[in-house]
Structure formats: C-alpha cells, structure tokens
Amino acid sequence: MSNKTILVAGGGGFIGGHLVARLRQMGCTNIRSVDIKPTSEWYQVFDDVDNRQGDLKLKDACVDACHGVDRVFNLAADMGGMGFIENNKALCMLSVLINTHLLEAALASGVDTLFYASSACVYNADKQKCEDVVALKEEDAYPAMPEDGYGWEKLFSERMCRHFREDYGLRTRVARFHNVYGPEGTWDGGREKAPAAVCRKVIDACESGRNSIEIWGDGKQTRSFMYIDDCVDGILKITNSDIVEPINLGSDEVVTINGLVDIVEKFADVKLEREYNLSAPKGVNGRNSDNTLIQKLLGWAPGISLQDGMEKTYRWIHDEYVKKYGASTRG
Ligand code: NAD
Ligand code: GDD
C-alpha cells in the first residue's frame, strides 16, 4: 500500500481523518484527502498530505480527485446520528451523487480498488424491532426495508459498487459499519451519535451543576458501538481481502443506552437523574452485529471493549468541551 497513491474521500471527517492518520503511520507518502469542508473545520489535518476542498457530489470534482490515484477510500457522506438522519432524508439520499460520480471517475482513471463505507442502516427494520435483538447477519439486508432515506441510499450504493465490479471489473469492497465512536469526531451540533452525545451531556451536567440529563427514547434500546481503531483496522483488512460482498464491520458487544450512560457516569464519578424524551429520534429498538462471517473470512473481528474505547472518547470530549466553553462554572 505504501507505494500507492491513495484518495481518502471525506478525509476531513471522523473516520476519514483517522484513516489518513493510519495510512501515514504505515508509510504511505502519496495521500490525497478531499472534503467539502474548509480544512480549518477538518478533524485532523496533516501538512504532508495533499489536502483539497471539493464537493464530491460534482462529477468534475470526482474526476480531479481520482486523477492519478490507485486506491479510493470513499468515506464522504452527508450523515450523522439519529437526530440528523431522521430529519434530513433528502440530504442523506443526495450522497448518492458522491458515490455515483466517484465510481465513474475511479473507473475512468484506472483506479485499482474502491472501498465504500456502507452502514448497518441497510438492514431490514423488521429484524430490529426488539431490544433483545438477534445479531444481524449479512443476508438480513434482504428483502429490503432499510432505514428511510439514509439506509436506502446506502443499500443502493452498495449495489452500484457490486455492478461496477461485475459489469466493468472495478475492484470494489464494501463494509457495513455499525455505530462508530472515538476521539476526533462529532460530539455536538446535531450530527453526533449516542456515545459522543451521552459523554457531552454528562460533562455538561457536571460542569453546569445540573443533576439530570435528557435521554432520547426510553433508554432500553440496544446497540453495539465500535471503537475507531477497530474500524480503521477493518477497513484496511477488508480492502486487502477477497471479500466482494458487503460485510459487517461492527462490535458485537451489545449494550442498552441506559448501560452506555452508566459507563459514562462512572468516568465522571456522578449519578444523574434521567429524563426520557419519548418523542426524540429513536431509530430501531435493537441492533447488533453478527460477526460470524468476518471472523470466518478474516480470522478477526472488532474487539476493543466499550469500556476502554469510551474512556478514551470521554477524556477527549471533556478536553474539547473545556476548550470550547472554559473550565467548570461550578464552585
Ligand atoms: P463524518 O460526517 O465525520 O465524515 C464524512 C465527511 O464527508 C465529512 O467531513 C463531510 O464534510 C464530508 N462530505 C460530505 N459531503 C461531501 C461532499 N459532497 N463532498 C466531499 N466531502 C463531503 O462521518 P464519519 O463518521 O466519518 O462517516 C464516514 C462514512 O462512514 C460515511 O459514509 C458514513 O455514512 C459511514 N458510516 C459511519 C458510521 C458511524 O457511526 N460513524 C456508521 C455507518 C456508516
Ligand atoms: N444521537 C443521540 N443523541 N442518540 C441518543 C441520545 C442523544 O442524545 N440519547 C439517546 N439516544 C439514542 C437514540 O435515540 C437511538 O435510539 C440510540 O441512542 C442510538 O442513536 P445514534 O447513535 O444517534 O444512532 P443509531 O445507532 O440509531 O444509528 C447510527 O448508527 C448507524 C450504524 O449502525 C447512525 O449514525 C447511522 O447514521 C449509522 O449508519
């Protein structure tokens, strides 16, 4: 990989930024990172990387981005946690333009491999009705009834990768990420997912001397959360593998949202009252990753514990909170 020219689409974002950091550590010297945001808003920026601002919904921007590139990692999307995807379905679906134009440009430029970041939101809603969830296997995406908006776009783009591979011979690899968390990601502003949101809310309550936090839903819904280092490991392993069909990339350590709050409260050494907002965006009742296939094909699956990953995430968000709002207003 180190002798290849690599494009990270969405390199100013959470996962893209971590992927660029890892590629540099691996000795890659020709990395191009493209994002619609100005570099001042990127989570991680590296001076030795070819950093570019561009709207990859546009075909010309994709052609420029892919020029001379061997390998594309497509992590660009207009997305967020439930609070964003439930209220921005059209915006989420417009990411299809990024995926379409990148595939076309990659093919035209002679790119050797394109990795596409899909999501657990492609899975059939009927399989996720119960908190006591049966972990999702890859075949549970069909018959199709994914998350409205965002999930349909992801499922369509997965299929587009497949057809570019089958019809045109472009080597595509697709992973279905289950909720990814970690430092250097979105923790406020409306796009944040539950792990970061819960950290921020607990920190905010402590810093401002409140004794309660709001939780979306009844707190009994279940999820599995994957730490970012596992996600980056998985992206690289899947890209280098012969796995052509979309595959789960997620933790199989399932937790309720109440359980997630318990973990964060311990880091803050606090016990808060919980106000459950039953009209807030909730998504599915239960979701977990069945890792049988990835274990079989790669002999590996994400394994960083929620406790360890959340501790690092909490400490980072705490520092960011203090940078933004100043130290405690209490006492
Ligand atoms: P992120 O929002 O931090 O990063 C996505 C980046 O894409 C952002 O920096 C954004 O500015 C950029 N982008 C959006 N529109 C663009 C455009 N038109 N042109 C160029 N760049 C554009 O999100 P993330 O968590 O890093 O997610 C990366 C990928 O993984 C996305 O495809 C996302 O759907 C997928 N995914 C993430 C999760 C998760 O839990 N984080 C779960 C499932 C799937
Ligand atoms: N975001 C958020 N903020 N969620 C909260 C909060 C809060 O303050 N309080 C409770 N929750 C609950 C949500 O109601 C939801 O039931 C659960 O925590 C998880 O919410 P998110 O982390 O926002 O999203 P998700 O797990 O339903 O879906 C995410 O993961 C998918 C992959 O598994 C999204 O990020 C999708 O975009 C992603 O594809």
What tens digit of pLDDT does each residue of 150-208 get?
Answer: 999 999 999 999 999 999 999 999 999 999 999 999 999 999 999 999 999 999 999 99
CA 65 from centre of chain: 22
Look up the pTM and report it.
0.98
Domains and CATH numbers, the chain: 5-180+227-249 (3.40.50.720), 186-224+253-288+304-325 (3.90.25.10)
pLDDT of residue 91: 98
Ligand 2 atom 30: the closest Cα is on which residue? Answer: 179
Ligand 2 atom 18: the closest Cα is on which residue? Answer: 194
Cα of 282 vs centre of ligand 2, distance in Å, is 7
CA distances 63 to 9, 46, 69, 161, 194, Å, are 12, 23, 10, 17, 36
* Ligand closest in space to the Cα of 56: 1
Cα of 196 vs centre of ligand 2, distance in Å, is 10
Q: What are phi and psi of 73, to 5 degrees?
A: -110, 110
Q: Which residues of the chain have pLDDT under 50?
A: 331
Complex confidence, ipTM: 0.99
Is 218 in contact with 258 (CB distance < 8 Å)?
A: no
Cα of 152 vs centre of ligand 1, distance in Å, is 16
Cα of 235 vs centre of ligand 1, distance in Å, is 14
pLDDT of residue 223: 98
Cα of 270 vs centre of ligand 1, distance in Å, is 33
pLDDT of residue 330: 53
pLDDT of residue 331: 39
Q: Compute the distance between CA of residue 112 and CA of residue 7 in angstroms, rounded to an integer.
A: 12
pLDDT of residue 329: 55
Residues with CB under 6 A from ligand 2: 79, 81-83, 85, 119-121, 150, 177-179, 192-194, 197, 215-217, 221, 223, 257, 280-283
Q: Which of 116, 123, 150, 314 is catalytic?
A: 150
Clarify whether 150 is annotated catalytic: yes
Ligand 1 atom 4: the closest Cα is on which residue? Answer: 13
The ligand 2 atom at the shortest distance from the C-alpha of residue 82 is: 23
Residues with CB under 6 A from ligand 1: 10, 12-16, 35-37, 55-57, 75-79, 98, 117, 119, 177, 179-180, 186, 193
Amino acid in the structure at residue 272: L
What tens digit of pLDDT does each residue of 126-149 get?
Answer: 999 999 989 999 999 999 999 999
Cα of 208 vs centre of ligand 1, distance in Å, is 31
Amino acid in the structure at residue 232: V
Ligand 2, residues 121, 122, 179: which to mutate, most atoms within 8 A of Cβ?
179
CA distances 42 to 21, 186, 285, Å, are 13, 11, 32
Q: Are strands 254-256 and 222-224 parallel, antiparallel or unpaired?
A: antiparallel
* Ligand closest in space to the Cα of 118: 1
Comparing CA positions, the residue from 330, 244, 255 lying closest to residue 293 is: 244
